[in-house]
Chains A and B, each alone.
Chain A
Amino acid sequence: MDVMEQTPIVIEPLEPGKETPVTRQRKARLRQFRVQLLFLLPALVIFTAFVIYPILASLYYSLTDWDGLAPTPHFVGLVNFQQFVSDPTVFINLRNTLVFAGGVMVLQNGIALLLALILDGFLRRFSFLRVLFLLPAMFSGLAIGYTWSYIYSPVFGFLNTFLGRIGLASWQQDWLGNPHLTLASLIFTNSWEFMGLSMVVFLAGLQAVPAELYEAADIDGTSGWQRFRHITFPLIAPAVTINVLLTLIGSMKVFDLILVMTNGGPGNASESLALRIYNEAFTQNQFGYATAIGIVMSLLILGLSMLNLRLLRKREVEL
C-alpha cells in the first residue's frame, strides 16, 4: 500500500559556527548597542561625577558631624535628621520658601500670561518687545539683586523717593527691612527678573492654538473673556504645565537673590531653605546638618513637582 510510503524527514543538525538569521540579528543589535553606549559614555561619566557621586556623598555626609575643616568626618547616625524635625527655625525657613514659591508661581506666571496675550494680540507687530521683556532674564542675578536693593532702600532708594515726589509719601515703606513686606518685595523682584522666560513659553503655546477655533468663536459671537476661558486657556495647558513646574522648582531653590538683597533678614524673615543650608555649612561649620537639610529639601521639591505634574497633565487637552 503506497499510502504508508513516506519520504523520510531528515532534520539536519546545524553545523557549529554557522549563523542563522536570528543570531545574525542578535549580533547586529549587540554591536549597535555597544556603539550607542560609547556615544553615551562621555555624558554618563560627567553625570556620574557631578550628579550621582555628589548625591551619594551627600547621603554620607548627612550622617556625620563634619565641620568642613577636619580631615575625616565623624559618623553620628540620624542625629542631623532628628535635629531637623525639632528645630523651629528650620520650619520658618520652610514656610518662607513655600510662601516665596507660591507667590512667584502666581505672580510671575500671571504677569507672563498677560504679557504673552498682549504681545500675541494687538501688539503683535512690535516683536522687539518680546526681546525687551526677556532682557532681565539675561542679566546676572547678583546685579539684579544689588540694583533692586538700592531701589528698595528706605534712605536714598528710587521707590520711596519717587513715591514722595508724586505725593504718595504715605505709601513709603522700608520694603526690605519690614519683616511683613520683605518676602513680597523679593517675590516681585524675582518675578520681574524671570517673567520674560515664562512669557516666551506662553507665546509658544499661544502659537499652537489653531486660528480656525477663534474664527468659529467669532462667528458664534463670543466675548473676549469667554474666548480666553474656553478656547485659549485650555489649549495652552502644556505651556502652563511647563511654566508652573519650572517656576516651582526654580523658586523653591532660591538663594542668590535673597543672599544679596536681605541675607535672610531681618532676623530670619526672608531666609529660604537654600540660604539656611549655606549659612549652616559656611558660617556655622555644620556641614552634616546642612547636608541633611539639603536632602530633605530635594525630596520635598521632587515630591511637589511630581504632584504638580500629575495635576496639570490631567488638564492637557489632546487636539
Chain B
Amino acid sequence: MADMYDSSPLTRRRFLHRSALLAGTALGAESLLAACGASGASTGGQQPVTLKFYHWIGTDAGPVVAEINKRFHTENPNITVQFSSNSSDQYETVLKARLAGGDAPDVFGVYPGVKFYPYAKANYLADLSAEPWATRLSAGARRVVTYTDGKVYTMPMDENVIGVTYNKQIFSQHGLSVPTNWADFLAVCEKLKSAGVTPLALGIKDQWVDQLIPYAMAPSALYRENLNFDKQLLSGTSTFSHSAWTQMMQDYLALNAHGYFNQGGLGTTYVQTTQLMAAGKAAMVVNGNWILAPIKQLNPNLQLDMFPLPYVQPGQPIWISSAVGTTTAISATTKHPVEARKYLQFWARPDIMALYLKEKVAYSSFTDVSNPALDPAAQAMVAPLKVGSYNFLDQNWPVGVQDVMLKDIQGVFAGSMSIPQMLQDMDTSFQKNKGQIG
C-alpha cells in the first residue's frame, strides 16, 4: 500500500540533475550539428588561410583595397584577406602595441626610410630581398626600403610629390600665370590678396601639414647644391642652425606676415583647407598630390592643376620634394609566410598596381609600371620631376627630429618660439638620436 505513494517526488536534487542532463544534451547536440555543418561547407583540398592585413591606406584607398582583395580571393580561393585600417596618426601606436603583444598582423604597413628601422632592428619584418618584384623597383624607391644591412624589408607602393595645387579658374579670372621663381610667386599672392581671394590655404592645426612648405623649399634651397647635407648632419659637419633652414623659415613666416595665408591657420585643419579650396575661397594650397582626390570629391566641377613651388631665383632650376609614401611589409613571425608573399607579389603585378595607383592618384615606384590614369593635375608634375627631386626629409633623419620640427613650427607660428630656438631643438634631437641610423 505504501508503494502507491512511493513514486519519487521531484526533490530539488532531482530537478537539478535533470536540468543538467537536458542542458548537456542540448549543448552536445548543437555542437555536433555545428561540426557537421562546418565540415560540409569547407572546400575540399587546401587548408583555408586567413591573412590579416593592417594598414593606414583604408582612409584614402579603401574601395580599391577591397577590390584587390576580392580579385586575389578569386584567384586564390583558399586565401581570404582580412583588411583593417586606421588613420595614419593612430596607426603606429596600435601596430607597436600589437607587435609587442605578440599579435602581429601577417601583412602590415610601415613608413619608408628610417621609420621602419626600429621594426627591422627588433626582427619584426621578414626579409624580402629575394622577392621577384624587388628587382623591378626604381633606384630611389629601393633605397628607402633597404635597411642598413642591405636587405629589402618592405615593398613600396606609391610615390607622392609636394607641390602647389591651384584653382585654374581663379587664376584665369585674375589673369595670372604659373610663377617660375619666388619673386613671381609672391607677386601672384599679392595680386590675389588685393582681389579679396585668400592666396594660400594653410591648415597647420594638423601638425603634419606645417612641414610641407619647408619640405617643398628644401630641395631647391639646400639639396640641389649639396646632396650630402644629410650625411653631413650625421657626421656633425653641418647643422640645421647654420644652413639655408634659417632663410627658409624666415620666408615661410614672411608669407604669413604679408597676409597670404587664411586667417587662423593654426586653428584650421587639413580637411578644412580642402573645403576652402573646394568652395573657391582659397586659390592655392601647398600640399602633396594626395590632396587632389578629396578636393575633387567635394567639388567635382573644380579645375585644378599643380606646379612646383618655385623657391628659386629667376632662371634657376626647381627641384621637387618627392618620396615613397606607402610601403607594406610581412611579419617575420607570420604563420602563413607563403600566402603572405603571394599576396604581396599579387600587389606588385603591373595590372593590380596600376589599379591601386589610379585610385590613390600617385606615382609608381616600379620601373615597369606607370599610372596612365594619373589625374591631369598630378600629370603636370611628371615633367618637372625629371629636372630634379629629393625625398621627404624625415626619411633620412633619426626618429624624433621630425616630431620636434612639427611641434616647433607650430610654436614659431604662434609666436612662442624663435626660429634659432627651433633649429637648435632640431639639432639637439638629431644628435641625441643619431645612433639609430649609423
Contacts and interface: CB of A to CB of B under 8 A. Distances in A.
B207 interface: yes
A262 B414 contact: no
A265 B266 contact: yes
Contact of A265 (B92, B99, B100, B410): B410
B205 to A, nearest CB: 6
A279 B266 CA distance: 20
A262 B118 contact: no
B122 interface: yes
B407 A154 contact: no
Contact of B264 (A177, A279, A283, A285): A177
B268 interface: yes
Given A174-B267, A179-B416, A71 B122 contact: yes
Contact of B410 (A67, A152, A267): A267
Contact of B122 (A70, A265, A268): A70
Contacts of A285: 118, 399-400
Residue among A67, A152, A267 with max Cβ neighbours from chain B (10 Å): A267
A265 B264 contact: no
Contacts of A175: 267
Nearest to A154: B264
A267 B422 CA distance: 11
A179 B264 contact: no
B119 interface: yes
Interface string A158-177: 00000000000000001111
A53 interface: no
Nearest to A284: B400
A152 B403 contact: no
Contacts of B92: 282-283
Contact of B268 (A67, A155, A179, A284): A155
A174 B269 CA distance: 12
B416 A267 contact: yes
B122 to A, nearest CB: 4
A153 B267 contact: yes
A107 to B, nearest CB: 22
Contacts of A68: 96, 100
B242 to A, nearest CB: 23
Contact of A154 (B268, B415, B416): B268
Contact of A153 (B119, B272, B400, B408): B272
B411 interface: yes
Interface string A112-155: 00000000000000000000000000000000000001001111
A269 B267 contact: no
A119 to B, nearest CB: 35
Nearest to A268: B407
A69 interface: yes
A283 B410 CA distance: 17
Interface string B262-297: 111111110010011000000000000000000000
Contacts of B407: 264-265, 267-268
A191 interface: no
Contact of B411 (A176, A177, A266): A266
Nearest to B203: A155
Contacts of B207: 263, 265
Contacts of B408: 267
B100 A269 contact: no
A266 B266 contact: yes
Contacts of A266: 204-205, 266, 410-411, 413-414, 416
A149 B417 CA distance: 24
A156 interface: yes
Interface string B191-221: 0000000000000110100000000000000
Q: In which size bucket is the chain B interface?
A: 35 or more
Chain B interface main SS type: helix
A69 B266 contact: no
B176 to A, nearest CB: 24
Contacts of B204: 266
Contacts of B262: 155
Interface in B390-432: 399-400, 403, 407-408, 410-417
A183 to B, nearest CB: 13
B416 A69 contact: no
Given A152-B267, A177-B266, A267-B410, A282 B205 contact: no
Interface in A278-294: 279, 282-285
A174 B399 contact: no
Contact of A155 (B96, B264, B412): B264
A49 B141 CA distance: 47
Contacts of A226: none
Contacts of B43: none
Contact of B119 (A69, A155, A174, A263): A69
B93 interface: yes
Contact of A177 (B122, B267, B399): B267
Nearest to B266: A177
Given A69-B119, A267-B410, A284-B399, A179 B100 contact: no
Given A68-B96, A267-B408, A154 B414 contact: no
A263 B270 CA distance: 14
A298 interface: no
A269 B414 contact: yes
Nearest to A179: B414
Contacts of A153: 267-269, 272
Nearest to B282: A155
A25 interface: no
A32 interface: no
Contacts of B413: 266
B402 to A, nearest CB: 9
A268 B411 contact: yes
B10 to A, nearest CB: 32
A174 B99 contact: no
Contacts of B410: 265-267
Interface string B81-108: 0000000000011001001100000000
Given A69-B99, A69-B100, A266-B414, A177 B119 contact: no
Interface string A245-279: 00000000000000000111111110000000001
Contacts of A283: 92, 403
B93 A282 contact: yes
23 contacts: A67-B118, A69-B99, A69-B119, A154-B263, A155-B264, A155-B276, A156-B275, A174-B263, A174-B264, A174-B267, A176-B205, A177-B264, A177-B265, A177-B267, A177-B268, A178-B267, A179-B416, A266-B205, A266-B411, A267-B408, A269-B414, A282-B93, A284-B403
Given A149-B269, A269-B414, A285-B399, 4 more contacts: A265-B205, A267-B410, A282-B92, A282-B93
3 tightest Cβ-Cβ pairs between the two chains A and B = A267-B411, A154-B264, A177-B266
Interface of A: 67-71, 149, 152-156, 174-179, 262-269, 279, 282-285
